[in-house]
Amino acid sequence: MPRPITLFTGQWADLPFEEMCKLASGWGYDGLEIACWGDHFDPWAAVEDDSYVPAKLEMLEKYDLQVFAISNHLKGQAVCDDPIDERHRGILPDRIWGDGDAEGVRQRAAEEMKMTARAARKLGVDVVVGFTGSSIWKYVAMFPPASQDLVDAGYEDFANRWNPILDVFDSEGVKFAHEVHPSEIAYDYWTTVAALEAVDHREAFGLNWDPSHFVWQDLDPVGFLWDFKDRIYHVDCKDAKKQVGNGRNGRMGSHLAWADPRRGWDFVSTGHGDVPWEASFRMLNTIGYDGPISVEWEDAGMDRLVGAPEALEFVRRLAFDAPSAAFDAAFSTTS
């Protein structure tokens, strides 16, 4: 059976949930990866209001859509981040921001992530996708010098804050799929190794594979799938295009806005960048990933109403199933 292709609603949360369902269904998507912001999904309402989840499921059924995962990146970001500042005020609701006291924000964000696990179970999904935040991302340049003790303390802080959250995930039978991403505790290959070690490789903590964050760092997204094959809990299809090589555009982006041609890279619609998609889908077959393929549409140079259906067509063409039999089985001459 072909893997379902879903659309992540995070970049569409300005639209009412029903409008999002109508668009995705009309384009031919099989389901949604539902974001926990806008009016798309509220974990607290899902847990506390017995009518909330049935209403969401009824809406999905109305448009012949399924749901396999929910995502709460924005609240997860605030669990470990240091500093907590005006950037977070822009992405967090009042109930998480409160009075803006940094530790209070972190604690309230942690409680929401616990609630998200409970909400996922009520919705009937097994995976929550999101970010972790990081108290040590600010040290990425390693100057002024950051000692190993300082770095180690960051992973310890991550474990101390996330293990109680993951305890709730365990109790609900839900897994957390961390999106490996700059500004998170795990943002590349070796920080992923370190993050897994920090939580003692507990099963509740796995990975959301989004290759767009690998290509501009010159990491191999295909090899990553192989090495972490037992931890790939969810897949997001997003692309990135490198624009380096002219001696001016830097890998770090130069604090320039998305789509500025002076940037060293940019997010682009799936199929328009440098992700080796066919090799990636073949590797997903090889490691036995049978979960949803979720399109996360981001492209500051393309209208989303054009990009989302085009991305679906691209993914459906390349995300073919593994064969049911070896091609050379037909050579057998058994009698």
Going from N- to C-terminal start, the domains of the chain cover 5-331
3-state class of 75 per DSSP?
helix
pLDDT of 327 higher than 80: no
3-state class of 236 per DSSP?
strand
| Least confident window among 16-30, 37-51, 205-219, 311-325 | 311-325
Q: For strands 175-179 and 293-295, give the pairing.
A: unpaired
Find out whether 131 and 73 touch, Cβ atoms under 8 Å: yes
Average pLDDT in the 197-215 region?
Answer: 98
pLDDT of 323 higher than 50: yes
pLDDT per residue as tens digits for the range 55-86:
999 999 999 999 999 999 999 999 999 999 99
Q: Tell me which DSSP letter residue 323 carries.
A: P
> Where are the alpha helices (H) located in the chain, listed in sequence order?
17-27, 43-48, 52-62, 73-80, 86-89, 94-97, 102-123, 148-172, 189-198, 212-215, 221-227, 277-286, 304-318
pLDDT per residue as tens digits for the range 269-296:
999 999 999 999 999 999 999 999 999 9
Of 165, 86, 183, 94, the C-alpha closest to 128 is: 165
Average pLDDT in the 174-189 region?
Answer: 98
Q: What percent of the chain has pLDDT over 90?
A: 94
Query: Hey, which CATH number is domain 5-331, 3.20.20.150, 1.10.3720.10, 4.10.520.10, 3.40.50.12780?
Result: 3.20.20.150
pLDDT for the residue numbered 332 = 61
pLDDT per residue as tens digits for the range 134-155:
999 999 999 999 999 999 999 9
Identity at 112, one-letter amino acid code: E
pLDDT for the residue numbered 320 = 81
Find out whether 60 and 21 touch, Cβ atoms under 8 Å: yes
pLDDT of 1 higher than 80: no
Phi then psi for 128, rounded to 5 degrees? -115, 125
Q: Is the model's pTM score more than 0.75? A: yes
Cα–Cα dist 243/254, whole Å: 12
Residues whose CB falls within 8 Å of the CB of residue 121, separated by 6 or more in sequence, listed in order: 172, 173, 174
Average pLDDT in the 96-119 region?
Answer: 98
pLDDT grade for 129, boundaries at 50, 70 and 90: very high
pLDDT of 335 higher than 90: no
- The total of other beta-carbon atoms located within 10 Å of residue 39's CB is 12
Chain mean pLDDT for the chain? 96
Residues whose CB falls within 8 Å of the CB of residue 287, separated by 6 or more in sequence, listed in order: 225, 226, 229, 232
- Pair of tokens at residue 142: 């390693």
pLDDT per residue as tens digits for the range 92-104:
999 999 999 999 9
- The total of other beta-carbon atoms located within 10 Å of residue 101's CB is 12
